[in-house]
């Protein structure tokens, strides 16, 4: 049985197969409309979500399957003190696959050790978010036609942003990518990303504080929200939250074929005026998230279509 906990649980070849399947689903939706008939997905969300939970549920419905679950810890027996081990052993009696989001790093991994069905990590604290990574990879490949040979800027909360940690880790296996990490000093990537991912693999990266200085060099700009819920005090959040605001003026210095990604939700970090710019990919990215989750559910359930 396979689980998806860490972005590195999938090889580069498996990721490519998943992206190819996602593209086929996009091109031939009807072909896949009954592949999960009789199957159930449980979404166990101990932390808030809009896109991830609803795109998982929409994905399962578009495959002809059914969904059940809860969308906050308050509405589950976690409030009575139940462990994730027990929760998944029980939910595994009702569903064929489980997507779990949890505020504690490592909770989905712990759950997978006892689960009778595949567990998908739908975000664990500030750690990883592998299905957002698949969404981001599909988006970069569809927008740019490639997954290597580019300069990528990550901007915003690189310390607590789990989508950033996951995507950097997954991209570390592709050729010739230069990383420009744009953040205030307090929100730089964690040490393990610098040492284990960049330095151990001899991957070039640069840490800067100003977006203006580097925007013209980027092929992809991955914007992120400052993760308020992971801050220890509100004053720091307020001081840092609006450090970067991408607007049409800043974009004047960017490449014509820049791709702007954002996992969403957006707060202030991208002006809504940017939404009409063809370089803004974030709503297409959110749509891609549904298709890539359809491909993932099929893969974990071992289902194929001729």
53 belongs to the binding site for ligand NCD (CB under 6 A):
no
Residues in Cβ contact with 95 at an 8 Å cutoff, skipping those fewer than 6 apart: 40, 41, 42, 68, 117
Q: Mask: binding to ligand NCD, 208-237, rule CB under 6 A, as x and -?
A: -----------------x------------
Residue numbers 120-149 binding ligand NCD by CB under 6 A: 123, 129, 132
Q: Mask: binding to ligand NCD, 6-35, rule CB under 6 A, as x and -?
A: ------------------------------
Q: Mask: binding to ligand NCD, 153-192, rule CB under 6 A, as x and -?
A: ---------xx-----------------------------
Compute how many residues bind ligand NCD; rule: CB under 6 A.
Answer: 11
Stretch that binds ligand NCD, among 103-111, 171-179, 260-268, 274-282 (CB under 6 A): 260-268
Residues β-bridged to residue 66: 40
DSSP track, 78-116: GGGT--HHHHHHHHTTT-SEEEEEESSTTHHHHHHHH-S
Closest listed residue to residue 104, CA positions, set 118, 91, 87: 87
Residues in Cβ contact with 119 at an 8 Å cutoff, skipping those fewer than 6 apart: 3, 4, 5, 88, 98, 100, 108, 111, 112
Residue 4 per-residue DSSP state: B
User: Which residues does the annotation mark as catalytic?
Assistant: 51-52, 80, 101, 129
Contact 205, 142 (CB under 8 A): no
Q: Which of 110, 264, 280, 296 binds ligand NCD (CB under 6 A)?
A: 264
Interface residues with ligand NCD (CB under 6 A)?
Answer: 51-52, 123, 129, 132, 162-163, 225, 263-265
């Amino acid at each position: 049985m396979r689980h998806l906990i860490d972005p590195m649980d999938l090889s580069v070849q498996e990721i490519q197969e998943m992206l190819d399947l996602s593209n086929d689903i996009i091109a031939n939706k009807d072909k896949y409309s009954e592949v999960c008939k009789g199957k159930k997905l449980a979404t166990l969300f101990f932390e808030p979500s809009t896109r991830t939970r609803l795109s998982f549920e929409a994905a399962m419905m578009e495959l002809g399957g059914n969904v059940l679950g809860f969308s906050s810890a308050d509405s589950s027996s976690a409030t009575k003190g139940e462990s994730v081990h027990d929760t998944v052993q029980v939910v595994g009696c009702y569903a064929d696959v489980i997507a779990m989001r949890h505020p504690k790093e490592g909770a989905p991994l712990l759950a997978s050790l006892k689960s009778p069905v595949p567990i998908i990590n739908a975000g664990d604290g500030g750690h990883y978010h592998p299905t957002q990574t698949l969404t981001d990879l599909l988006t970069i490949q569809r927008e740019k036609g490639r997954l290597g040979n580019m300069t990528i800027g990550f901007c915003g909360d690189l310390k607590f942003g789990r989508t950033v940690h996951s995507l950097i880790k997954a991209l570390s296996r592709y050729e010739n990518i230069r990383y420009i990490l744009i953040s205030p000093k307090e929100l730089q990537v964690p040490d393990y990303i610098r040492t284990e991912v960049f330095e151990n693999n001899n991957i070039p990266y640069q840490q800067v504080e100003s977006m203006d200085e580097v925007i013209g060099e980027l092929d992809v700009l991955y914007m992120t929200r400052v993760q308020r819920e992971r801050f220890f005090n509100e004053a720091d959040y307020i001081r840092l939250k609006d450090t970067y605001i991408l607007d049409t003026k800043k974009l004047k210095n960017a490449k014509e074929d820049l791709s702007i990604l954002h996992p969403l939700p957006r707060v202030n970090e991208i002006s809504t005026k940017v939404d009409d710019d063809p370089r803004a990919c974030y709503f297409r990215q959110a749509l891609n998230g549904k298709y890539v989750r359809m491909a993932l559910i099929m893969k974990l359930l071992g289902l194929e279509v001729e």
